[in-house]
Amino acid sequence: MSALPWQLAEPIHVRDIDFSVLFAGLESADARYYGEALAGPTKDMPDDDPRWHVLIMLSSLLQMYPRPADPNEPYGAMIRIGDRRTAEPADFAETMVETLVACSEVVEHPVVLARICDVAWFLERRRRDVGMQALNAYIQVIEKLESGALKEDGDDGLFGLSGHDLLQRALFVSRGLGFPGSQHNTLKKYVKRCRIEVAETPHPGVLYRFCALDLDWQASDASDVGDMIGDILTAERADMVGYTNADLWKLASRAYHAAKDETRKHECQAAAAESYVRSADTFVGKPGGAIQASHWLSKAIAQYHGHPDARERRKALKHRLIDVQDDICDDLQTISTPLDFQEIAEAVQQDLNGLGLLDLLLLFADLERSPNPEKIIQEAREVVAEAPLSSMFATSIMDSDGKTVAKSPGMGLSDEPNAAALLPTIHQSDRLRREIVAKSTLEVARAHIIQQGLSLDRIAALLAQSPCVPPALHMTIARGFLRFFEGDRVGALHILTPMLEGILRHVLKGAGRDVSTFDNATQTQEDRTISSLFDAMRTELDDTFGRALTEDIERVFLSKFGPSIRHRVAHALHDDGTPYGADAIYANWLIWRICCIPLFPHRDSIVLP
């Protein structure tokens, strides 16, 4: 395998570059801006110039996608398209580490130095001196960010997302180095100071991030964190919305649990549950509100789980939930009705940068609609009529080993095409549609969205408001979608595909449907699998999701005439190339659409961290 452009740099050529000139005037705490600054001069240099390789190497290194919350994979490729991608840490392993170390000896800017040394140490943990250099550089960046010498994109200084992420990554580096006393204590003091000072912030998400960071790293007494959150929430600040209150009360409950104060832990647990109830109250009696109200009531009931004195309250909420669910069928029918986002779609096609992250995420879910079932059947009939010989013979679908997994019957020239005979034509046309949509629309939008500050907490905050997302799988599904947006095709497909079954069951149960089976012989019950749902509850699925969406799910995930994503992934019948295909991209996107459809009418009430 030939070396990538950023793997051709050599240590001997590092000292030929004056980095202080290249970084002059830059005041950002974000490494990617320094990567862009290094990429600029390469446009006027011949690619056989040794300095060109050094600049390309550092530019690629600085523009990797940061994952500060993941100590095992702190960086990844920013963009993946097919078999092409940008740089990732593994590209700089082995001999390249020496080049990074050489760069660390001449580069002085702390933002750049922190990234160089962090990656070098991450790849070779035996280089403790390089790790300490990274840790000290991170602390220097944090100090400059606090003083204003460095800037954060949101102009929030150390309290912005960049400040939080820098602290989080620095703490992980400190842990990997064995918690060096002076540096680790300095970081903990910064975390505690930030947590205290953000108490006056108008952004509850910022408050949550730094309180959680404080608890994670025990920067303060846990009870102090719980007390601060409680004081803020009991002040009934107007900028705190219901579901955000619940998250903060849950965090306070976690703090008191750590402090071994069970009484206050349960008080906060109940407060979180009642915040969910108030969120449900805002949707009762509104068009489409029964779905959302049911969602929040379900979360309230689940939040009371384990509370020693909540038995009667849980019982009352369950009765209320049943009453609210009486109106769900009508509301779910509106979920399957296509909503007109054409105006937004046209604006995005012209200038994606004109929309905020929330609008981009919702628009992404509506970039394509599931085909009208009657229309695709009619189109298939027209294809058969134009080329009758194509339908005269039976069609066999074979797997990669040559085994026949499905057949459709042939028909005579005078026969009227039946549904079974039309299946190959329908799937062929739909495969072409998915190919066009995935490559020309979804991938373009996905690559744009990931550069807009998308993070796990933002995806999780959006999905937490969807009644289609099972609360018990909320974070798992959010991580799967983060992998999808990041371009990690393998991780996304293998996380999200199994989640579809849970999503379908969750929505059907919320609509009052029984999704279990009963074995008369053994007198046992089991939840239906996705195949069983489509076999035994097809009418209920069509009524709940709409026939168009239900058939789209079947063609992509279940039908043996299609890619059969669910079966192939569940039983390891796919190959290494499957996650990179258009069908896999479309499959991941389709799950995102299912989760986001109920949120479309409530866009104005949604707030991301």
Predicted confidence (pLDDT) per residue in 145-160, tens digit: 988 899 887 777 788 7
* Alpha carbons 59 and 157: distance in angstroms, whole number: 24
Q: Give the burial class of 3: count Cβ atoms within 10 A of its Cβ; 0-12 exposed, 13-18 middle, 19 or more buried.
A: exposed
Pairing assessment for the beta strands 395-398 and 404-408 based on DSSP bridges: antiparallel
Poorest-confidence range of 25-34, 210-219, 519-528? Answer: 519-528
* Alpha carbons 180 and 428: distance in angstroms, whole number: 61
Poorest-confidence range of 4-18, 203-217, 542-556? Answer: 4-18
* Alpha carbons 550 and 545: distance in angstroms, whole number: 6
Mean pLDDT estimate for the chain: 84
Domain ranges of the chain: 221-326, 373-605
Q: Is the pLDDT of residue 396 over 60?
A: no
Classify 298 in phi/psi space as left (phi over 0), alpha (psi -120 to 50) or beta.
Answer: alpha
**Average pLDDT of the segment spanning 514-523:** 80
pLDDT band at 394 (very low <50, low <70, confident <90, very high): low
Nearest to 431 by CA among 269, 603, 585: 585
Poorest-confidence range of 114-118, 383-387, 553-557? Answer: 383-387
* Alpha carbons 429 and 92: distance in angstroms, whole number: 43
* Alpha carbons 420 and 410: distance in angstroms, whole number: 9
Annotate 449-468 with b (16+ C-beta within 10 A) or e (fewer). bbeeebbebbbbbbbbbbbb
pLDDT band at 496 (very low <50, low <70, confident <90, very high): very high
Poorest-confidence range of 35-49, 108-122, 182-196, 381-395? Answer: 381-395
Tokens of residue 417, six digits:
């095409």
Whether residue 87 contacts residue 53, with contact meaning beta carbons closer than 8 Å, is answered with no
Q: Where are the beta strands (DSSP E) in 382-436?
A: 395-398, 404-408
* Alpha carbons 218 and 258: distance in angstroms, whole number: 10
Rounded to 10 degrees, the C-alpha dihedral 190/135/86/496 comes to: -60
Q: Is the pLDDT of residue 412 over 60?
A: no
Neighbours of 400 (CB within 10 A): 9
Tokens of residue 146, six digits:
């606090």
CA 166 to chain centre: 21
* Alpha carbons 29 and 32: distance in angstroms, whole number: 9
Q: Is the pLDDT of residue 112 over 90?
A: yes
Query: Is this model's pTM higher than 0.85 or not?
Result: no
Write out 297-335 in H/E/C secondary structure: HHHHHHHCCCCCCCHHHHHHHHHHHHHHHCCHHHHHHHH
Residue 273, CB half-sphere, CA atoms under 13 Å: how many?
21
Rounded to 10 degrees, the C-alpha dihedral 228/232/235/241 comes to: -150
Which residues, 6+ apart, have CB-to-CB distance to 334 below 8 Å?
287, 288, 601
Annotate 234-258 with b (16+ C-beta within 10 A) or e (fewer). eeeeeebbbbbbbbbbbbbbbbbbb
Q: Is the pLDDT of residue 141 over 60?
A: yes
Amino acid at 312: E
Write out 438-482 in H/E/C secondary structure: HHHHHHHHHHHHCCCCCCHHHHHHHHCCCCCCCHHHHHHHHHHHH
Angle at 14 between CA 44 and CA 153, to 5 degrees: 70
Q: Give the burial class of 422: count Cβ atoms within 10 A of its Cβ; 0-12 exposed, 13-18 middle, 19 or more buried.
A: buried
Tokens of residue 545, six digits:
């999701």
